[in-house]
Amino acid sequence: MVRLIRALQPSANSFRSFTSKQRPSRAESRNAAAGFLAGFRSYGSEAARSEVEASLNGIIQEEIQFQSEPAPPTQPPARFGIFEVADKPGDQVVKLKGKFGDSECIEIEVGMFDGCIFVPTPGEDRQETQTNRRMHLSALIHLKKGEGSNPLKVICSAWPDCFEIQKVAVLERDQSQPMPYAGPDFKSVDDRLQMSIYEYLEERGIDDALASFLHEYMKNKDRIELINWFKKLQSLVE
């Protein structure tokens, strides 16, 4: 009988060994459960992320449509008067180049809108509206009369209907002075001198019509740049 029990013991051990291989341990069960939960969370995160991206993409598309209504921006003109317009997409500065006479070169650098002032209309509500907000552009005008002459630099504001001079500086030909004297506050000089310099610029096409053109140009450019920005943003979330 004892021999029979001993003879059967290996079979029982073999059975226990077999069942231990087939049934996972508690640690293995925990690992399997953790893996399942991680996969579920990953799926949930991806689903939530795709919903967020779809929502963001929809909002951006609405903004692009809004900026394109009632009509999309127009093709910017390449010339105005004596000036050729150099405008690189994505840049905030537009350059105009022209010639006056045989040898005088004119270059104007204009930045995009950088401010505004509120001008109340007589007899109307003083509440700020689009109609009485005057947008501001900063402009830098370079004038040079051929080789050997000192260039003239005029710092001014461009309003929707006029230029307003701030400073007039006479530069050295070799540009050796890192911070040259920019002249007095233009409004502080003699009125006759102010008028003469305005007439000097107007003779060269730097007048009210050019100021109005620059504002219309920048309104159009502002829409173009904004739409392009939205499209670049959209390409990152699609």
Task: Spell out the residues 6+ positions from residue 111 whose beta carbon is closer than 8 angstroms to its own.
Answer: 92, 93, 137, 138, 139
Q: What is the mean pLDDT of residues 117-141?
A: 77
Residue 214: name the closest of 178, 164, 150 by CA: 164
Flag whether pLDDT at 121 surpasses 60: yes
- Bond prior to 70 in cis (omega within 30° of 0): yes
Which tens digits make up the pLDDT trace of 162-202? 999 999 998 877 666 667 788 899 999 999 999 999 999 99
90 in helix, strand or coil?
Answer: coil
Q: What pLDDT does 41 receive? A: 55
What are 46's two structure tokens? 């991806």
pTM summary value: 0.73
Cα 11 to Cα 1, 6, 22, 112, 212: the distances in Å are 16, 10, 17, 91, 102
For the chain, give the longest Cα–Cα distance: 135
150 in helix, strand or coil?
Answer: coil
**For residues 88 and 144, what is the distance between their CA atoms, to the nearest angstrom?**
24
Which tens digits make up the pLDDT trace of 11-21? 444 434 433 34
Which tens digits make up the pLDDT trace of 20-46? 344 445 555 555 545 545 554 555 566
CB 151 within 8 A of CB 135: no
